[in-house]
Structures are given as structure tokens and as C-alpha cells.
Amino acid sequence: MENFLTIAQIIVLFLLSGVSIYAMVVLVKLRDLLGTIDLNLKEVATRIIPTLENLEVITKKIRVIVENFDEQIVMLNSTVETLKGVADNVAAFERRVQDAIESPIMEVMNSLGGVIRGITSFFNRALGVRPSQYED
């Protein structure tokens, strides 16, 4: 039985040695992987800093553009309102002018029509033309 315990201890020690060697190999590979990750992170950091700075500059420019656009929209709204007011004033002026001119012109046309009818009636009677013959 003593031999069996000794053999079991030897086997356990070999297995522990194997596990220890395997753990060392895994730790060496893990160290290499962590070194590669460290290099990649440093490379990304060196490349991302200028990109972020450019993004900051672009963001500032976009903010200025948007602010200018907002100012232009306010000016455009003001201009449109002014043009609307001018168009309304022109339309009102047109109505006033039309009302002022149309009535006297209609009176003159009615008077002129009456005069022409009177002259036509005068010549028809003077020439002896009958109204029924004249209408045909």
C-alpha cells in the first residue's frame, strides 16, 4: 500500500507539473495577447485624437452655419412679411383706384350712350327710317 501511495504521489506531482507548465504556457500567450492589445490601443489612441479634434472643429463650424442659417431664416421671414404687406397695399390701392375711376367712366359711358341714341333717333326721324326697318 505504501508503494501505491508513493506511485499516486508521483503521478499527482507529474500531473501538477504538467498543469503548472500548461499554465505557464497559457500565461505567456496571454502576456503576448495583452501586449498586442496594448500596441493596438496605443495605435488607435494616436489615430483617434486627431480625428476627434477634427470632429470638434467640424462640429463648431456646423454650429456656426446653423446659427447663420437661423439668422437668415429670421431675415427671410421678415422680408416675406414685408413683401406680403406691400402686396396687400398694392391690392388695396388697386381697389381704391378702380373704385375711383370706374364709377365716373360708367357715368360718362352711359351719358355718351344716351347721346348716341339721341343722335341716332334724330337721324332716323329726319331720314324717315322706321324703327322696325332699322332693327332688321
Eight-class DSSP state of 128 = T
pLDDT confidence of residue 136 = 42
pLDDT confidence of residue 82 = 92
pLDDT confidence of residue 15 = 95
Structure confidence by residue, pLDDT tens digits, 106-132: 888 888 899 999 898 888 888 877 665
C-alpha distances out from residue 50 to 33, 39, 55, 64, 107, Å:
27, 18, 8, 21, 84
Position 102 pLDDT exceeds 90: no
H or E, element range at 61: helix 2-127
pLDDT confidence of residue 124 = 85
pLDDT confidence of residue 2 = 85
Q: What is the pTM of this model?
A: 0.43
Eight-class DSSP state of 131 = H
Structure confidence by residue, pLDDT tens digits, 55-96: 999 999 999 999 998 888 988 898 999 999 999 999 998 888
d(CA 45, CA 51): 10
Residue whose cell numbers read 375711376: 101
Please choose, from the candidates 72, 74, 75, 54, the residue with its C-alpha nearest in 3D space to the C-alpha of residue 64.
Answer: 72
